[in-house]
């Protein structure tokens, strides 16, 4: 089976979970066409991400000719489908937080994607995140009839859910993946109850690099680590204030900050103002191997986020036998149990965060190690990439079993699949724009 992954930016340093998913799907015999709108300007540091870039097809490469060609082809070969997709794009403009012309740009992207999907014999389209990528996948589905799905992560999707057109995106989708129970509950707020059955829990998973690595036998004393994009929602400024409290109390510690982003200048300024230069190291982005080493060399991972879906880095730390200090927001409590595999604190509370970090630094090594082991068991149970991708592969295959195809995508009966029997379909089967469902695995194509 061949599927297409469409993402606005791929690969990216913060999208390691997506790469793991694609690689594991291919181990399951599913061939994946990687399509990204753009390559992104952020530097790639991991060899696996650099390798993925060479395997990815970029829509904005090569100028506008492909968009003009795709539009001309759709006007000739599938005019009714093009009209339906255009109507859908205009429908997405209502209540959208984005300028109306952007939705026409998404339609143009969908036209190019539709050509590539048809050329590559793609049986299913999947998008990560419920934002513009999901809209492009939906419009491509309307153009081609190829089933599509998307994964909702949060928190960005739930900052402005009423503007993202979730009812339409879910209505047209074969299914919708969510990465946590919390994420699923938030999606339920914005779609009709009759569509809830389409929501499928498929958690982000870790591969053998983490799951097969045994935790170290010793626990470092004073070293802490935080990993993530340097943005407001990750709570780095609150973390620095909490560390300043511990520094004033004379507690020894050192924090390595792994990551980069728009907040870096402000963080560097805060480090100087709070007198934390001897305590905090800004390390920038690291490769996967370097991140694993940094976590293993730390007593705990700290992530005081204000908003999240369910951070993959928490899974990574627990899998490596390190407890976490984090906040009880979104899906985090589904993974982290307070005082069992880490410390949960209210988001935004400097005092509670300082107290939790202090408890972690003061705790007996045996307790810290036991917490890490409990967290590892939780990750092995919930976040094994092999098990989660088997679920996803089964959903893809089930969705491809029934494929809706606009008949105006074929100029002649001869353009339809060889197994198609027009007599079986009935005298009205070739009416312009009529949509039928083709069921593979039968002696003929079945109209319903």
Question: Is position 445 within any domain?
Answer: no
pLDDT at 225: 98
Do 274 and 347 lie in one domain? The reply is yes
48 domain-assigned: yes
Query: What pLDDT was estimated at residue 307?
Result: 95
Of the chain, the percentage scoring pLDDT greater than 70 comes to 89
pLDDT range class, residue 39, cuts 50, 70, 90: confident
Q: Can you give the pLDDT at residue 191?
A: 97
What pLDDT score does 400 carry? 72
Q: Does residue 448 lie within any of the structural domains?
A: no
- The percent of residues above 90 in pLDDT, for the chain, comes to 82
- Which three-class secondary structure state does DSSP give residue 278? coil
Q: Note whether residue 425 is domain-resident.
A: yes
336: confidence class by pLDDT, cuts 50, 70, 90: very high
**Across 278-298, average pLDDT:** 96
Position 295 in a domain = yes
Three-state secondary structure call for residue 190: coil
Are residues 373 and 394 located together in one domain of the fold?
no
- Looking at the fold, whether 279 and 160 belong to one and the same domain comes out as no
Residue 114 domain boundaries: 2-205+386-402
Same domain, 124 and 239: no
Same domain, 323 and 422: no
pLDDT exceeds cutoff 90 at 30: yes
Q: Is 447 domain-assigned? A: no
18 in a domain, yes or no? yes
Same domain, yes or no: 233 and 357: yes
Could you report the per-residue pLDDT of 381-432, keeping only the tens digit for each? 999 999 999 999 999 999 776 555 554 444 333 333 333 333 323 333 333 3
Q: Give the pLDDT band (50/70/90) at residue 62.
A: confident
Give me the pLDDT at residue 66, please.
Answer: 95
Q: Is there a single domain that holds both residue 48 and residue 124?
A: yes
Question: Side-chain half-sphere of 120: how many Cα atoms within 13 Å?
Answer: 22
Could you tell me the two tokens for 167? Answer: 């009812």
Pick left, alpha or beta for residue 254 (phi over 0 → left; psi -120 to 50 → alpha; otherwise beta). Answer: beta
pLDDT digits (tens, 9 = 90+) for 435-447: 444 433 333 333 3
21 and 49 within one domain: yes
| pLDDT the model gives residue 41 | 59
Radius of gyration, alpha carbons of the chain: 24
- d(CA 197, CA 200) in angstroms, rounded, equals 8
Query: Cis peptide before 11, with omega less than 30 degrees from 0?
Result: yes
CATH code for the domain in which residue 228 is found: 3.40.50.2000
> Is the domain of 15 the same as that of 105?
yes
Query: Is residue 444 a part of any domain in this protein?
Result: no
Q: Identify whether residues 377 and 237 lie together within a single domain.
A: yes
Q: What is the DSSP string of 385-446?
A: HHHHHHHHHHHHHHHHHEEEEEGGG-SSGGGS-TT--HHHH-TTTTSTT-EEEEETTSSS--
d(CA 395, CA 174): 9
Domain count, the chain: 3
* Contact (Cβ atoms closer than 8 angstroms) between residue 305 and residue 233: yes
- Which distant-in-sequence residues (6+ apart) come within 8 Å of 366 by Cβ? none
392 and 415: one domain? Answer: no
- Give the chain's mean pLDDT: 89
Residues 31 and 157 in one domain: yes
CB 14 within 8 A of CB 201: no
């Amino acid at each position: 089976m061949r599927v297409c992954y469409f993402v606005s930016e791929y690969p990216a340093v913060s999208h390691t979970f997506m790469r793991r998913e694609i690689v594991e799907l291919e181990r399951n015999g599913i061939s994946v066409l990687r399509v990204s709108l753009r390559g992104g300007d952020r530097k790639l540091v991991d060899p696996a991400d650099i390798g993925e870039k060479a395997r990815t097809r970029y829509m904005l490469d090569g100028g506008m000719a492909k968009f003009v060609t795709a539009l001309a082809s759709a006007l000739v070969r599938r005019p009714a489908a093009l009209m339906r997709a255009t109507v859908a794009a205009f429908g997405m403009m209502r209540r959208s937080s984005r300028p109306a012309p952007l939705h026409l740009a998404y339609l143009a992207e969908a036209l190019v994607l539709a050509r590539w999907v048809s050329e590559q014999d793609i049986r299913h389209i999947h998008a990560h995140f419920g934002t513009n990528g999901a809209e492009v996948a939906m419009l491509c589905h309307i153009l081609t009839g190829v089933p599509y799905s998307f994964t909702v992560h949060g928190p960005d999707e739930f900052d402005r859910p009423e503007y993202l057109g979730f009812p339409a995106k879910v209505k047209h989708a074969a299914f919708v993946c969510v990465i946590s129970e919390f994420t699923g509950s938030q999606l339920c707020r914005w779609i009709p109850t009759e569509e809830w059955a389409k929501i499928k829990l498929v958690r982000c998973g870790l591969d053998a690099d983490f799951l097969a690595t045994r935790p170290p036998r010793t626990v470092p004393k004073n070293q802490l680590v935080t990993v993530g994009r340097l943005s407001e929602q990750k709570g780095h400024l609150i973390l620095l204030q909490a560390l300043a409290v511990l520094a004033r109390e004379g507690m020894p510690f050192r924090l390595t900050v792994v990551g980069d982003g728009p907040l870096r200048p402000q963080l560097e300024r805060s480090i100087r103002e709070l007198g934390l230069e001897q305590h905090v190291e800004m390390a920038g982005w690291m490769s996967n191997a370097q991140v694993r080493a940094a976590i293993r060399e730390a007593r705990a991972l700290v992530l005081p986020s204000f908003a999240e879906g369910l951070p993959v880095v928490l899974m990574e730390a627990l899998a490596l036998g390190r407890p976490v200090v984090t906040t009880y927001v979104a899906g985090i409590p589904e993974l982290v149990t307070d005082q069992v595999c880490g410390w949960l604190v209210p988001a935004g509370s400097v005092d509670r965060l300082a107290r939790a970090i202090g408890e972690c630094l003061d705790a007996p090594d045996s307790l810290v190690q036991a917490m890490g082991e409990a967290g590892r068991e939780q990750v092995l149970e919930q976040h094994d990439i092999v098990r989660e991708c088997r679920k996803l592969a089964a959903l893809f295959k089930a969705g491809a079993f029934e494929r809706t195809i606009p008949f105006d995508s074929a100029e002649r009966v001869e353009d339809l699949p060889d197994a198609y029997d027009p007599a079986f379909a009935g005298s009205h089967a070739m009416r312009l724009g009529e949509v039928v469902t083709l069921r593979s695995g039968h002696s003929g194509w079945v109209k319903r």
